[in-house]
Structure 1
Amino acid sequence: MTQSREALAMMDGTTVTFSKRRGYVMSRWGIILTAAAFLAAVVATGLLVYKFASCAEYEPAGTYPTDGAHNGTSRVVVPAHATEPAIPHTPSTKSPKLDVRLPRAVFPDSYTIKIIPFIYEGNFTFNGEVTVIINVTEATLNVTLHFNDIKIHENTVTVTEHTPTTDGSFTEGKKLSIDHLSNDTTRQFFIIHLQQPLSQGKQYRVSMAYVGNLNDVLQGFYRSSYTVNNQTRWIATTQFQPTDARRAFPCFDEPALKARFKISIARPSNMTSISNMPQEGASEPVEGLPEYLWDHYGQSVPMSTYLVAFVVSDFGHISEGNFSVWARHEAIQQAEYSLKIGPKILHYYENYFGIPFPLPKMDMIALPDFSAGAMENWGLITYRETAMLYKQGVSTNNNKQSVATVVSHELAHQWFGNLVTPSWWTDLWLNEGFASYVEYLGVNAVEPSWKILEQFVIFDLQNVFALDALESSHQISIEVGHPDEINEIFDRISYGKGASIIRMMDHFLTTEVFKKGVTKYLNSRKYQSSTQNDLWEALTSQAHADNALDPNMSVKEIMDTWTLQTGFPLIMVTRDYTTGTVHLKQERFLLRRKAENSSLTTAHTSTTTSAPGTMGLGLWWIPITYTSLENPDFDNTQPSFWMKATPELTLPPVSAGPDQWVIFNIQETGFYRVNYDPTNWGLLIEYLMDRDHFSQIGIINRAQLLDDSLNLARAGILDYGTALNVTRYLANELEYLPWKAALNALGYIESMLVKTGNYDKFKVYMLGLLENLYKHTGFTDNPNDPQLTVYKRVNILNWACSLGHEDCVRNSVLQFQNWRSSPDPDRNNPISANLKNVVYCTAIRVGGQEEWDFAWQRYRKTNVGSEKDILLGALGCSREIWILSRYLDWAITENSGIRKQDAARVFGAIANNAVGQPLAYSFLRNKWDRIREYLGSSLFTINTIVRSCTKRINSPFELGDLMQFALAHRHELGTATRAVEQALEQAEANVKWMERNYEPIVRWLANVTAVAAS
């Protein structure tokens, strides 16, 4: 599954994370109580002003379905409403970890599912019948399945002997007597208790009928809608990952329990349906429902329940062979680009993996309402509209690349995730990390001019560094159980860090060995499940066969240090300038140093556990690559040495004189940061400042030097004067990657200084750096410009306008006014697509209600999803407090025009506005119950809102206030628990940063601007 690109854009490295529950949460709240008490003593007067709501009772998301769609009066088994979280966490209660795994006495062989969704009847329910053929591995009196938010008709539940025959059919045996039925609400179990045991080695047929709810929380089998000529059109669609297939049919809802599925969908005769497999035969009438037809689909290959999908809609489609794309009729032409690249990427992966695509067809569909970015259902990939649709001349280059990237990601999953599936969500990263890396290869195959492989460093690797540098980060491979825990690890660690360490493997094994090893792994486990050890075994076998790895080394030994412990290393490079030797020392990189004695540090000690088989806490097997001014080589990424989970290593003399720099981690292929001794930093800064020679350092490594130095300074490891001196060379830099890396890191400083009286000094310095590049790129968007030139222009203009650059602001306002003056602004927009972000935001920021209202009307009327997204972000740029307050209110108001999936986009846009951030946080705190009720347990939305609204908190008073909020609502945070904990740690880090760095940075800025002025 691809997370929402909007959500990922707002993460800024501070993504919700997960850590082991045992003892962790309890100690967290204990620490918070102590810290809050201390802060309250300091700022008691201010804190007492606030009144927090008492803890509300926990209620599951959504509403339970009514029985209105079922004819008859049979009794039903209904999950009881829970009054506390499934796994309660309070400072005074220690509960044993709840085992939510299904018993292993039976497992599914095949499903037959028949579903009738009542889309236009007004009650939004669906009737279902499911039959599961089960295999019995040991005698048992119980059959346990998952169910959630559905009502099972008790008098329809049957268990019957099922005996296959030699001709492929089966004979039906006797019906077994059922003693009683029960449900375990906390575990979401439906249990059939039998009067006689099932026999080991035999098959049985389990059948039942049920009724469910086409909910509006974008989970399970849910409803979506859109409007044509003021008429509402409804859609019924699915989103099952990770644990919501059980909302659509009773099932064995665990990834390892694969089975074949034969699905029948009843639909209104004026609509169509699609599912994982092609339709078999003609549609048939539904008895008793004259307006409905049955569509029957072929039996699937063995697959996990979370990959089952079906959609009922009135959409249009276009096809190329057996590859089809679906969208609203009004938007179907916007799917042409996806159809153009989709088959090409699919064919590329067939060659890359060496395995043909296993299914007879592929459908991709763009949905108006979708909580994630996309979902890799086998043979039927579902997308947000913004993730699949692109309109030339209206959508931006970035929109186009986003579409290509998401399509590539989901198609990669058809092999890595669907063909071979992780045995349990512990290894979710195998799915998401691999697809997040290989997506770049797929896009590069169809759009090589974009240089997307270079972009990986800034969009994934450096992005996730910021998150993994926090004490509350988590291991890539981590034990999870309850659905809330599973949901929490769909974060940047599983995606971005997973992708980064797979890229690292690709480089240290060589691409040829890596590809052959992956193919060996897929062939050995296809249509089955696996663990990361299966992948390590296949890669080790291939690496030894091809002499790519020392026979005494294994991929498991190396990679366990990256997947089974938290964080990543910092390599300290100390040179002996007399002998030429280099001493390396590794330690875990943390944004907050242990010496700070953080009030929250104790709570995180359990997350930094040593990997089994490693040589100790915080030690990694690190591939060492380097080059020097003596003979600069920024192409060879094969490791020269291995740092084998040892704290220190001395390298033989390097080929560099005492007056020549060395650079480690070529192309930043290793997942680690590098710090140098002061002399080497001085040599690097001197060389970068030489405008005639700095480009001899590779582009990716220039981006690395900027990102590493600024984040080392942020962590208190490197003097900020040194780090900021590295940035001075940017006045002559014209390449996108170094600028993007620098602006990402400098953006943190900007967010900390923007509310202070010395922000003007930062503005002066930044405008000075930007001036040369601003003149070079200009304000005119040239459609023939390379992708990275377009990105460079957009980034520079965004910063220039936000800093008040006169020419930038004037151009933006003029272009926006020209648009407003157009006789038909919905058909004639003179603003170049790539400049819309900066023009819209700047004009709304310096304008008033008229500009905001104009943009809001364009948002309501546009038919292009990417245009809606740009406008949603720009509407948060206003400086009018009342407008922003109203906008926040609309984000969680039914029928306001803002879809639930976009609520986080609104909060993020306002929180990124210096004026809006306090408003957004205040709204989150004061309207928490309303937000939670409206959005339910949406996988990404609430967590993203928490992160965006709190990431700029940097004063003791605000931190204390956030602690009070966390304490007041600790019982009902649900899946947002880790997001709030993450916010607390980030806020405290910000407070410490201000105490340590504010004055030194202000002095440095004052000195530099004074020198420039003289």
Structure 2
Amino acid sequence: MLPLRRALGNHFRLKLKSNFNRRQLHFCCSHVKHHQHLLNASSTKTIMSEFRLPKSLKPINYDLKLKSDLVDCNYEGLVDIQFQVKQSTDLISLHSHKNIKIHYINLYTNSIKQSQSITPDHSFDEKLERLNLSLPFNLNQGDDVTLSISFNSTLDDSMMGYYRSSYKQDDKDIYYALTQHEPTAARKSFPCLDEPILKATYDISIIHRKDTVALSNMPPIHSSPATSDTFNYSKHSGSTNPDEWVVTKFEKTPLISSYLVAWANGHFKHLESSYKSPISGKVRPLRIYATPDLINQAKLGLDAKSQVLPLYEKIFDIEYPLPKLDTLVANDFDAGAMENWGLITGRTSVYLYDDKLSGLDAEKRVVGVQSHEVSHQWFGNVVTMADWHGLWLNEAFATLVGEIIVIDRIRPEWKVYSEFITQHLHRALDLDALKSSHPIQVPVKDPATINQIFDAISYSKGGSVLRMLSNMVGEETFLKGVSIYLKKHLYGNAETQDLWNGIAEAAGIDVQAIMDPWTLKQGFPVLTVNESQNGIQVRQDRFLSTGKPTAEENETEWHVPLFIRQGDHIDKSVALNKRQAEFALSDVSSSNWKLNAETAGVYRVLYSPERLAKLGIEASKSDSSFSLNDRIGLVNDAFVLAKAGNGPTSGALGFISQLKNEKEYLVWSSMATSLANLSSVWCEESLSVREKIDALRRKLFSPLVKQVGFDNKEGDSPDVLQLRELSIASAAAANDKAVVQEIKRRFQPLLEKDDDSLIPNDLLRVIYAQAVKHGGEAEWSKCLEIVKNPNPPTPMHKIAAMLALGSTKHEELIEKTFDFIEHGFKNQDLMYPYVALRNNPISRRKLWEYTKANLNKLEKRLEGNFSLGRLISFSFDGLAQPNDVNEVEEFFKHRDTSKYSSSLNQGLDAVKMSVVCISLDSVMGLGDKQVGCKGLMEGNTRATKLLDDKYKQVKEFDESEGWEELEEDMAIIDASSALKDSAIDSDDFQLIVSEVCKGDWELLMFIKQVALNGCRLGFYEPVRRQLNSLTGIPADKNVTTTSVGAGIVSGMMGAASGNPFYLIKARMQAYSPSLPVGTQHHYRHGYDALKSVIRVEGISGLIRGMDAAILRTCMGSSVQLPTYIAAKTYFSSNGIFEPTSLANFIFSSSISGACVCLMMQPPDVALTRMYNQPTQKMENGKSVGQFYKNPIDCLYKTVKAEGVTGLYKGTSAQFLRIAPHTVCCLVFNDLVCGWYSGFKKSYVSTSTSS
């Protein structure tokens, strides 16, 4: 089945990636694995033995006769099920549904040679949806049994089982009916054994009115008039006029699972073509059916089917096995599309295309959907998963082969291999980075679980893992192995191991050993890469978007193909199969190498700041050695890793700024999505931050709008067509006045005279939405008119209008939209207004309130539908206030959430992440701007110190993490977003105060200052005099060489004595669960820190960074006292100030402070980076830094990667800290020395007098 996200197209990709791309709509059946979390305490768990049917009976054949009445909207049926008894039993259990009414049941078995009615002995278990038949005798192993069940039910609007849909003709509703059985709705249509492994053949006959058409999996054998005997099984047989009915009997199916059985009945029209099998030369008919009003838009779907079928036969070397392949387009369809064998079904938005009125996105969707479903005729239909835990075997292959490999062969200009990265890989990584994710192959514990594993893990991660394996062994070898797998299990069921065996046979490697961790374990790795002298050091850890994993969460070690690129060469032979290892790499420091070439691996890569800077430079070149796929991956990794705390957001924004001359649409799409996410998180917060984000978006996308314009030009490539829509949508979302004005101008003729000639087909969504957003009731009402039109020009016109309704800024129109949700939208279309209202900052909270008030009605309305969980999640997952988490949890606390618990948990994760991010950023800004200033004004010294500590803390993080400064308009974004997401539960500033002040820093700082400055100042004069004496210079004479030398020596002594305390102080300041800065070390107090450092890192741990500290202090001390004394001498000797005046002290120390700042800044950068770099234990037990070997190495790498200016990051902050410190220190020193001299003279004088 195909996910509904295809029906939403680019709008969905662009607009719904805020917070979590991982929660995209994947509605081929449902969503995500049911997890034990906060919200499923009330859910009912069904043990496996209850959930599974007994293994005593095996179905052989179903003979199904069905009377389909489209006038009275009901149906009656008779099913004869032939069984073979595998184990002796006196109980027959099969699936049924509460809406199916049993008329009678008869049993025939060869062991007693007679028919026996057992109707009085049957019972129905509603929870297990099971019909249990108790027998007065045992069925013996080997017996052949035929069970006849007469039943009836209604044609409802549920979009599950056998249901009704409709279209308008002459203002009347005309009904038709079709089936949707995946995953467990065949039982809603007829009593059956509804499990994938219980395959059987089917003989289907449909009794229908003469003026209608009947369809099923197989071609009809004949269609004949009904007789009175036709209705013998019906309880209404006496009231039925046979002359109004015909019987269409279909050929027997091959062995097929119940979820693939399909039929339909209605006033259908069709288009027809054929294809010739490249294997046998046989010509097979191909048809596409639709209602009369839609059939003229169905040709592209038919053409696409005829194009891809021969390709699949060639790829798999297996002929399509059925005599025909039909497609039915339905007005009401919950999923995107469904791969029923021989009768594919799907909604209008994925199968209709008008070559004059539809855009490129619609064309790509139709071709892609058709190919996806056709691929299932092999993956899923010819060979079916043994049970739902193997769903990925169906969907991952249809994703990779159906949407990528085959499409590329018929539409290479679409660049679908690259699009796979944005459409599938990134979606999979986003979802799998959550703790609420699940393995690809997930155990099925109960019926609710089945409905929640149709998600980005089964589809997109599964497809991504297969793509990675294909890149490892080569696509040709990979497809050969797939063919082996299919041929060995024709018409049967298979497990994941069977697939690995097939590919292993083709590739000659142990595929299962490589792939098991990828399919059986949750999550994926992030590779941390550090350069060494002869190559690179690579470490793998599980990546979580919420921070570092625990030891238990980080147990998996994947076999990770590194795909190392150096220039145009890609080495596919190197893999990391343990926690960490070193790999030889030539010219590592200067070459443009990167891991994960072509973004082929299912992992992220974390580089050092220096390497990332190089990658950005190379990626921005017009002749870059990095491919399109490489650049897409680099952009996404930069943003996602920054959000998870592995680098500053400003670094990712800087990376985007480097790519401002990018030509490829997919790279721009990745950038646009990242910026849209950032803006969405802040939608209820700081206006200044949002304005700065919008300013950046305008700077990036407004020039693109001018470049590509609004109107399509002859010869526009697919890239240009897509870039046009993307740039206009992004610029308009950022409130570009010129773009918005042009949109309003183009919408005006439609508003005034129904003339949409100024609206290009590809721009329907953005123009409709922005016209409503910046317009009023007239624009909103025009879109409502389009929504209500039963025959819109194309499905996309209606979808664009539905999305636009939720984009309004006006409160009264928002309320009207909610009213229309309740009474106007079809069930299948509810997702569209929900999407728009959720992305509209003005209506976001109103949507949550509306959903709370109407949840009971929503659950009943969408019972069994795939969209229920998504709608519930969308109603609150954009919220971001601290109390929102508690409110959502409390609201669902006592509800049965078992059918949508996974979507619920993912939505909660989204809220928690946004709360953390916004609380952290907004509180930091508030503290600096208000609390700090207030403390200064009131003379509150503790508030002043808090401000200073935070200032130094941020500055040290700035230097240690290698931030890049952006343009002036990025300043607020840097301040707000640079710190990593964490776990703040409240925006109360006192919480921040308690975190920032945690640890006995005052004592540590006192000890450190006594040791450092006591040595520097105390030993300077004795050392200077001694040096003068050694060089024959009078002791009282100040000479530059000896003064500088004395400063260096005393500085070395001070740095060595103060370093252990400074290191501990820096680590304790950097630690906070709320404000994590750099690598985290959690110590209870100073003494605990000393013990911990010695225990973990040895005595040498206390002198970590001492070389940098000595270098730093020596450079500062070498100029501090010499320049101070020189300045004092100059001022006093020239009569500017008195020698001992306070003014002389202050001006001289200020000059000294400026000199110290210039000298100390480079080693200060090295010091903070050395202190805060992550460490790793070597085999000898020694802890070493992962980035820098020593301060000289640090300075060298900084200059090489960032230039000389990299040594002077944070200079303004450094001066504001060093200058006052120097002034206070030296002035106080001179004053104390003066007081002491005066005291000494007075004491000596008094003593002499005595």
In structure 1, list runs of 5 or more residues that go unmatched. Answer: 31-83, 89-94, 164-171, 596-600, 609-615
The whole-number CA distance in structure 2 between the counterparts of 1:890 and 1:973 is: 26
CA contact (8 A) 2:353 2:366 kept: yes
**Partner AA of 2:613 in structure 1:** G
Deviates more, 1:260-269 or 1:953-962: 953-962
In structure 1, what is the equivalent of residue 598 of structure 2?
Answer: 667
Deviates more, 1:235-244 or 1:757-766: 757-766
**Partner AA of 1:175 in structure 2:** S
CA gap of 1:999–1:807, structure 2 versus 1, over 3 A, is farther
In structure 2, what is the equivalent of residue 923 of structure 1?
Answer: 850
1:160 aligns with 2:108: yes
**Local SS of the residue matching 2:687:** coil
**Partner AA of 1:575 in structure 2:** E
Counterpart among 938, 954, 968 of residue 1009 in structure 1: 968
Counterpart among 574, 596, 609 of residue 641 in structure 1: 574
1:492 aligns with 2:448: no
In structure 2, what is the equivalent of residue 845 of structure 1?
Answer: 773
The whole-number CA distance in structure 2 between the counterparts of 1:372 and 1:338 is: 17
The whole-number CA distance in structure 1 between the counterparts of 2:666 and 2:138 is: 65
Written as runs of structure 1 = structure 2, the 5 A alignment for 1:52-451 is 87=44, 99-121=50-72, 124-153=73-102, 156-162=104-110, 173-176=113-116, 178=118, 180-287=121-228, 288-289=240-241, 290-321=243-274, 322-439=285-402, 440-451=404-415
The whole-number CA distance in structure 1 between the counterparts of 2:24 and 2:752 is: 42
Offset at 1:1011?
A: 8.4
CA contact (8 A) 1:740 1:795 kept: yes
In structure 2, what is the equivalent of residue 650 of structure 1?
Answer: 582
CA contact (8 A) 1:661 1:680 kept: no
In structure 2, what is the equivalent of residue 72 of structure 1?
Answer: none
Counterpart among 510, 513, 520 of residue 557 in structure 1: 513
CA contact (8 A) 2:40 2:901 kept: no
1:948 aligns with 2:883: no
Offset at 1:998?
A: 5.8
In structure 2, what is the equivalent of residue 14 of structure 1?
Answer: 23
What TM-score results when the alignment is normalised by the length of structure 2? 0.69
CA gap of 1:582–1:594, structure 2 versus 1, over 3 A, is closer
Offset at 1:174?
A: 2.2
The whole-number CA distance in structure 2 between the counterparts of 1:782 and 1:223 is: 43
The whole-number CA distance in structure 2 between the counterparts of 1:854 and 1:152 is: 46
With a CA cutoff of 8 Å and minimum separation of 6, indicate the structure with the bigger relative contact order.
1
CA contact (8 A) 1:848 1:880 kept: yes
CA contact (8 A) 2:201 2:256 kept: yes
Counterpart among 833, 837, 840 of residue 761 in structure 2: 833
Deviates more, 1:509-518 or 1:444-453: 444-453
CA gap of 1:102–1:656, structure 2 versus 1, over 3 A, is same
Deviations 1:807-859 (A, max 9, x none): 2111111110122233x54xx54311011122111111110000111122123
CA gap of 1:770–1:461, structure 2 versus 1, over 3 A, is same
**Local SS of the residue matching 1:950:** coil
CA contact (8 A) 1:892 1:900 kept: no
Deviations 1:705-755 (A, max 9, x none): 110010001111122232222111132212112111122222211111232
The whole-number CA distance in structure 2 between the counterparts of 1:686 and 1:984 is: 38
CA contact (8 A) 1:731 1:768 kept: no
The whole-number CA distance in structure 1 between the counterparts of 2:771 and 2:583 is: 56
**Local SS of the residue matching 2:145:** strand
Deviations 1:92-132 (A, max 9, x none): xxx866631111111100000011122212xx221110001
The whole-number CA distance in structure 1 between the counterparts of 2:699 and 2:923 is: 21
Offset at 1:997?
A: 5.0
1:512 aligns with 2:476: yes
In structure 1, what is the equivalent of residue 976 of structure 2?
Answer: none
Counterpart among 583, 586, 592 of residue 546 in structure 2: 592
Deviates more, 1:199-208 or 1:418-427: 199-208
User: Identity over aligned residues, as a percent?
Assistant: 27
CA gap of 1:565–1:387, structure 2 versus 1, over 3 A, is same
Deviates more, 1:796-805 or 1:172-181: 172-181
CA contact (8 A) 1:662 1:680 kept: no
**Partner AA of 1:728 in structure 2:** S
**Partner AA of 2:531 in structure 1:** R
CA gap of 1:457–1:20, structure 2 versus 1, over 3 A, is closer
CA contact (8 A) 2:481 2:503 kept: yes
In structure 2, what is the equivalent of residue 889 of structure 1?
Answer: 819
The whole-number CA distance in structure 1 between the counterparts of 2:522 and 2:200 is: 35
**Partner AA of 1:683 in structure 2:** K
Offset at 1:891?
A: 1.8
The whole-number CA distance in structure 2 between the counterparts of 1:3 and 1:889 is: 28
In structure 1, what is the equivalent of residue 531 of structure 2?
Answer: 575
Offset at 1:20?
A: 6.9
1:685 aligns with 2:616: yes
Offset at 1:791?
A: 1.0
Deviations 1:344-396 (A, max 9, x none): 11111111111000100011010000000000000000010111111112222
Offset at 1:685?
A: 3.0
Offset at 1:152?
A: 4.5
**Partner AA of 1:157 in structure 2:** I
In structure 2, what is the equivalent of residue 44 of structure 1?
Answer: none
CA gap of 1:1010–1:219, structure 2 versus 1, over 3 A, is closer
Deviations 1:143-192 (A, max 9, x none): 111101344536x31221259xxxxxxxx932357482222222111112
The whole-number CA distance in structure 2 between the counterparts of 1:829 and 1:778 is: 16
In structure 2, what is the equivalent of residue 68 of structure 1?
Answer: none
Offset at 1:592?
A: 0.2
In structure 2, what is the equivalent of residue 454 of structure 1?
Answer: 418
Offset at 1:406?
A: 0.7
CA gap of 1:230–1:978, structure 2 versus 1, over 3 A, is same
Deviates more, 1:738-747 or 1:772-781: 772-781
Deviations 1:836-887 (A, max 9, x none): 1221111111100001111221232214212211211122211112212221
The whole-number CA distance in structure 1 between the counterparts of 2:343 and 2:788 is: 29
CA gap of 1:725–1:1000, structure 2 versus 1, over 3 A, is farther
Q: Quick check: which one's helix share is greater?
A: 2
Written as runs of structure 1 = structure 2, the 5 A alignment for 1:898-917 is 898-917=825-844
**Local SS of the residue matching 2:587:** coil
The whole-number CA distance in structure 1 between the counterparts of 2:654 and 2:38 is: 41
In structure 1, what is the equivalent of residue 901 of structure 2?
Answer: 977
In structure 2, what is the equivalent of residue 77 of structure 1?
Answer: none
The whole-number CA distance in structure 2 between the counterparts of 1:436 and 1:657 is: 37
Offset at 1:26?
A: 6.3
Offset at 1:411?
A: 0.2
**Partner AA of 1:384 in structure 2:** R
The whole-number CA distance in structure 1 between the counterparts of 2:379 and 2:597 is: 28
CA contact (8 A) 1:331 1:863 kept: no
Aligned residues: 896
**Partner AA of 1:955 in structure 2:** Q
**Local SS of the residue matching 1:99:** helix
In structure 2, what is the equivalent of residue 477 of structure 1?
Answer: 441
CA gap of 1:1011–1:297, structure 2 versus 1, over 3 A, is closer
The whole-number CA distance in structure 1 between the counterparts of 2:868 and 2:971 is: 46
**Partner AA of 2:732 in structure 1:** C
1:736 aligns with 2:665: yes
Deviates more, 1:1004-1013 or 1:797-806: 1004-1013
**Partner AA of 2:797 in structure 1:** E
**Partner AA of 1:25 in structure 2:** Q
1:715 aligns with 2:644: yes
CA gap of 1:961–1:461, structure 2 versus 1, over 3 A, is same
1:790 aligns with 2:721: yes
